[in-house]
Amino acid sequence: MKKDRFVPKEELLRQEEIANALSSYWKEQGKTPLAMVITYGCQQNENDSERIRGMLSQMGYGFTENKEEADLILFNTCAVREGAEQRVLGNVGALKHLKKRNPELIVGICGCMMQQQQVAEQIKSKYRHVSLVFGTHVVHRLPELLSETVMKKRRVFCTDDSEGVIAEDIPILREADCKAWVSVMYGCNNFCTYCIVPYVRGRERSRKPEKILAEIKILAERGVKEITLLGQNVNSYGKDADFGMDFADLLREVNKIDGIFRIRFMTSHPKDMSDRLIDAMAECDKVMPQLHLPFQAGSTRVLSEMNRKYTKEQYLALVEKVRAKLGAISMTSDIIVGFPGETEEDFQETLDVLEKVRFDSVFSFIYSKRTGTPAATMDNQVPEEVQHERFERLLELQNRISREINEEYFEKTVELLVEGASKTDSGVLSGRTPEGKIVNFPDDGETKTGDLITVKITKVSTWSLAGEKIG
């Protein structure tokens, strides 16, 4: 790996000095400013927001969920689908009146949207109340950028275009007590024709294994029991470097860490799912029986147009190999409905994959045209009404399959990692099985977040299970 893809230690120390200086400034003002970080998109964005919160804390900021009391509102954005972009722009626009009432409020936008030059220019010209904009490649420079906004009262725009960098040892402020995301690599080299990610996240670049393992050991010491390893394509880990370690090797090393009880990872690209990785999953006792393996479309012709580099038959053979080696593993996937040129026959191939594989759940999306990607200029864009009609049919089929799989859990005894109170009922706790199933159960007043308990399933629904604690 090129040395210049790692941010020099001297630069990170400079950012730390700026952060400490801003913290001192706030103390002199007798103020603890409050920040609100709003995150859109994938787990990688969530992980970036944890780093952003860590740096903000170092700069003397506290945190709030109330826009009215915030001194800084920062949107960490996603560019994968148009709908997410429109929600961001709508929510940013709505802050114009708040900025008028509170001129000292700093409104900022970062993340993947800002790595698209045309979007950053739109913000600069049409959203004058936004005073801080930065892209995915300069997150580590937040202290410098925010300090300039605060101290010099000027608008700051920094959307450097590059293949991307790795900045280690940035402070991280995580919200979860028992689970943590750990990025093992950034960027993507696959250039699927529908996807903006390689353009906004840069090329694949792997973190040094010793840095990853050190981070996980610290998390284990703090009581974290479950780790999810993150990357746009974790199966490519190490291919861009001379670590002498691939993702299968990394899994085995993480599996050795005391205090970690569960390991998950995402996302895997089917073309890079090796026998070595399947063997590692089978042999590492802490790796959970769950695999997220996006297939995107069932038609081999459409897959070729997507530049996915595998056929329908190859995908199904891979699933068969995984299940032959790993047994009753929970499988999830990503699906795009209505890709340009998709015919009814092509869509039927997608439904056929659902029937054959029987995924526990899927993340399904209507194709979203992304400016700058090859698919955006393809002929035969599928009419919106056809996309929606197919989408509803896909959901109907998958909901039936998900319900049927969940029915098999009725009256079974499962192990749960307790994640906390249910989002909809404070008298109910929630946890996940090794397969990733959500299970709700009554709060007995003794069970705590992070406990590993035994629950008997008493009720089944399409998207979750309910049970009673028995141990």
For residue 448, how far is the Cα from the chain centroid?
26
Q: In the listed set 109, 136, 158, which residue is the last one of a domain according to the structure? A: 158
Closest CA to 42 of 292, 397, 254: 292
- The answer to whether position 399 is within a domain reads no
Please tell me the pTM assigned to this model. 0.93
Closest CA to 142 of 197, 76, 85: 76
- The answer to whether position 440 is within a domain reads yes
By the 10 Å C-beta count (0-12 exposed, 13-18 middle, 19+ buried), 352 is classed as: middle
| CATH number of domain containing 61 | 3.40.50.280
- The answer to whether position 272 is within a domain reads no
Closest CA to 260 of 231, 238, 287: 287
CA atoms of 402 and 313, how far apart (whole Å):
23
Q: In the listed set 129, 158, 187, which residue is the last one of a domain according to the structure? A: 158
pLDDT of residue 426: 82
Report the domain count for the chain.
Answer: 2
- The answer to whether position 250 is within a domain reads no
Structural domain span for residue 439: 413-469
- Would you write out the chain's pLDDT as a tens digit for each of its 471 residues? 555 689 999 999 999 999 999 999 999 999 999 999 999 988 899 999 999 999 999 999 999 999 999 999 999 999 988 888 999 999 999 999 999 999 999 999 999 999 999 999 999 999 999 999 999 999 999 999 999 999 999 999 998 877 889 999 999 999 878 999 999 999 999 999 999 999 999 999 999 999 999 999 999 999 999 999 999 999 999 999 999 999 999 999 999 999 999 999 999 999 999 999 999 999 999 999 999 999 999 999 999 999 999 999 999 999 999 999 999 999 999 999 999 999 999 999 999 999 999 999 999 999 999 999 999 999 999 999 999 999 999 999 999 999 999 999 999 999 999 999 988 888 999 999 999 999 999 999 999 999 999 999 999 999 999 999 997
- The answer to whether position 425 is within a domain reads yes
- The answer to whether position 381 is within a domain reads no
pLDDT of residue 425: 86
CA atoms of 213 and 229, how far apart (whole Å):
11
Beta strands at 452-460 and 413-421: parallel, antiparallel or unpaired: antiparallel
| CATH number of domain containing 425 | 2.40.50.140
pLDDT of residue 3: 53
Q: In the listed set 111, 138, 158, which residue is the last one of a domain according to the structure? A: 158
- The answer to whether position 108 is within a domain reads yes
- The answer to whether position 285 is within a domain reads no
pLDDT of residue 177: 83
